[in-house]
Chains A and B, each alone.
Chain A
Amino acid sequence: MKHTARTVVRTGAVVASTALVLSACGGETEPTGSADGEELTPVTLQLQWVAQAQFAGYYAAVDQGFYEEEGLDVTIQEAGTDTVPIDVLAAGEADYAISWVPKVLGSIEQGTEVTNVAQVFERSGTLQVAMADSGIEGPEDLAGKNVGSWGYGNEWELFAGMQQAGLDTSEDITLVQQAFDMNGFLAGDIDAAQAMTYNEYAQVLETVNPDTGELYQPEDLTVIDWNEVGTAMLQDAIWADATRLADDEAYAETTVDFIKASLKGWVYARDDAEAAADIVTAAGSTLGTSHQLWQTNETNKLIWPSTSGVGTINADQWDQTVDIAMNTQNETGSTIITTEPPETAYSNEYVEEALAELTEEGVDVMGEDFAPIEVTLTEGGA
């Protein structure tokens, strides 16, 4: 409650002072969600990491003026290693945050009032990667192996997969703390390493295989894809402040506008991956050009084609995520949550409104014809 009031005052103050400077007109101005006036509603989006194509849709929406068309002035805030996006949102320093669903469920159970208002990524991008000659084809083959994991809430699909395959995760495997590079895997310390399709998997494919003198090829590796195993959990979603959604009508309207413009950005990234990758690079990402394009393309695959309209939270996938969150134990024996999350944990209300508006404008929100492009990775991702 407290932070909500503060944020409103703060946002109001920002708007008011901007108005004073720009037009020298006095008085408090309440933020409005319409594009009619000249004033834009300031909106801050908190990412989970630094600028990279994983967030291409939002950067594209800024670059292409989609937010502005909806009357929004969006500032994208990058994260550091110690940033917890949901805490930033709850503290009122951001209006929306991008975060994985399982990472937020724990916070919700501890009392953070946030709502998933758009499930941008429909599929999980997490893989467990092994060398082709390791004999690791599925989660059951991980028994007796050194299994890498980043931890910090990135490990649940892996643990769910192994438990589904009947492994005792405390005894049958050796869990290795994995760094954010693939050196441990390439050096052989890790038999099966965690990798995002759009990042670490590409890092391996950008490295020269000492046996062949050429870059590693997909044939040199085997992957366990949690979408296929059936233990995928929902990843990048747009989170909003639940109390503000309930109490602040302007914020609820802004939420629809924000989702609409963001989804438009993702449609743009789908239709022109190369332009989207360039936008992200121009926004300050130092990733190499081929790596950036690869990431855009892989991110597109996680979104498109969409089952029920991009951004919609599918009940079955949500339930699967919650089920795993309640019933999977990590190496310390704890689960993410102990009880079902409250009803406010997700809502399709805003995304449905946004989708209706987009459909009316003739935007293809299903992407049935989506075909990923071919990206050739170069050494070092340059």
Chain B
Amino acid sequence: MRRQVLLGAAGVGALALLWEGYKLVAPDDGVVVGELTVLPRTNDIAMPHLWDMAARAFEPVNSATDALPLWVAVLVAAAFTLGVAAVGWVVGVVVGLGTATLMQRFRTAESALLPWVVLSQTVPLIALAPLVRRWGSQLEVGTFDWQDWMSVAVIASYLAFFPVSIGALRGLSSPDAVHLDLMRSYGVGWWRTYRSLRLPAAVPHLIPALRLAAANAVIGTVVAEVSIGLRGGIGRMIVEFGASASADPAKQWSPIFGAVLVGLVAAGVCALIARGLARYRVSEVS
């Protein structure tokens, strides 16, 4: 465990060294072959020093009297994005498991659904986002009113359900024939077989799928926030701070680190889930 932490820290340190090292060695205008820039510029606008980014994070967002320190504002936004991504992830996992179960249970469903599941991921997110928002805003059931963050969560779940449905389908179909035969010889019904044999057998396939789904949900949330202009999250913050990219270049790196943080927390939660399911993990398959 300690070794892992050390190695992780060493990885981050190496990345930091690479950043500053490249900035030190390479020319300000990057490496240009002919007319083509093959390695990026290293000036302070394109690549601010890491310590400048850190220093900027402790300054207020702007000069308004009630402005929060940048790092606090980023944390607030990161928590918001994490919340939306979590909702998207949960919905995606439920839908993914549902479709996988359906496809496992009925061969016809598999033939009918699987191509669509795969095709669904080829629809570009930027085409989808405004549509989802539009459909959502036309939904009104009683006092329930569709909120924009729900559109973002739907888009996140749209990206998250894919690995889960594929992983779970493989997992649910993975028990050996002898085990299934045993269940049959006991005269056990489908549901019981599903619960006691198929689901546990699916866990090793499911855990990497859940991780992928978490990563997808975070990316989906950040991109959809930008796309539909949802206020409060990391995505919107990256776009807004991008406007001062030349005048205050270190500023926009804070939300980028915030996005990394959201990804790390999501990965951490998945690791905890994996630990909770440890007794089902005979061997992990990816």
Contacts and interface: CB of A to CB of B under 8 A. Distances in A.
Given A286-B237, A289-B62, A180 B243 contact: yes
Give the dominant DSSP class at B's interface: loop
B229 A50 contact: yes
A382 interface: yes
Given A78-B229, A93-B137, A181-B242, A379 B247 contact: yes
Contacts of A382: 62-63, 248
B226 A207 contact: no
Given A93-B134, A181-B243, A289 B64 contact: yes
B5 to A, nearest CB: 35
Interface string A73-108: 000001111111001100101000000000000000
B229 A288 contact: no
Interface stretch (B39-47, B80-88, B200-208, B271-279): B39-47
A275 to B, nearest CB: 14
Interface string A206-218: 1100000000000
A91 B134 contact: yes
Given A50-B240, A186-B45, A288-B244, A78 B62 contact: no
Contacts of A281: 64
A83 B246 contact: no
B247 A83 contact: no
A288 B63 CA distance: 6
Give the interface centre of B230, B244, B251 by most chain A CB atoms within 10 Å: B244
A42 B242 CA distance: 34
A203 B244 contact: yes
Give the interface centre of B46, B61, B229 by most chain A CB atoms within 10 Å: B229
Contacts of B241: 286
Given A50-B229, A289-B63, A183 B243 contact: no
A29 interface: no
A381 interface: yes
Contact of B129 (A79, A82, A380, A381): A82
Contact of A80 (B29, B129, B138): B129
Interface residues of A, number: 41
Contact of B246 (A17, A93, A182): A182
A13 interface: yes
B247 A207 contact: yes
Interface string A359-382: 000000000000000000011111
B176 interface: no
Nearest to B236: A50
Contacts of A284: 231
A288 B62 contact: yes
B239 A81 contact: yes
Contacts of B229: 49-50, 78-81, 83
A181 B62 contact: no
A33 to B, nearest CB: 23
B17 interface: no
Chain B's interface size range is 35 or more
A67 B61 CA distance: 31
B10 interface: no
Interface string A22-41: 00000000000000000000
B193 interface: no
Interface in A150-197: 180-183, 186-187
Interface string B40-63: 010101100000000000000111
A381 B240 contact: no
A80 B228 contact: yes
A290 B244 CA distance: 13
A91 B134 CA distance: 8
A199 B246 CA distance: 12
A221 interface: no
A82 B239 CA distance: 13
Give the interface centre of A88, A281, A382 by most chain B CB atoms within 10 Å: A382
A378 B247 CA distance: 9
Interface string A2-13: 000010001001
A183 B134 contact: no
Given A187-B41, A281-B64, A380 B248 contact: yes
B181 interface: no
Give the interface centre of A80, A290, A291 by most chain B CB atoms within 10 Å: A80
Interface string B234-258: 0011011111111110010000000
Interface in B199-238: 225-231, 236-237
Contacts of B31: none
B243 A203 contact: yes
A199 B30 CA distance: 28
Contacts of B236: 50
Contact of B248 (A10, A88, A381): A381
Closest 6 pairs (CB-CB, A-B):
A80-B229, A380-B248, A181-B245, A206-B247, A80-B228, A288-B62
29 contacts: A50-B240, A80-B130, A80-B225, A80-B226, A80-B227, A80-B229, A81-B227, A82-B126, A82-B227, A83-B130, A84-B130, A181-B242, A181-B245, A187-B41, A199-B243, A203-B244, A204-B247, A206-B248, A207-B247, A281-B64, A286-B61, A286-B237, A287-B62, A288-B63, A288-B248, A379-B247, A381-B62, A381-B244, A382-B63
Interface of B: 29, 41, 43, 45-46, 61-64, 126, 129-130, 134, 137-138, 140, 143, 225-231, 236-237, 239-248, 251
Given A82-B227, A180-B243, A380-B247, 10 more contacts: A13-B140, A78-B231, A80-B230, A183-B245, A183-B246, A281-B64, A284-B231, A287-B62, A290-B63, A381-B62
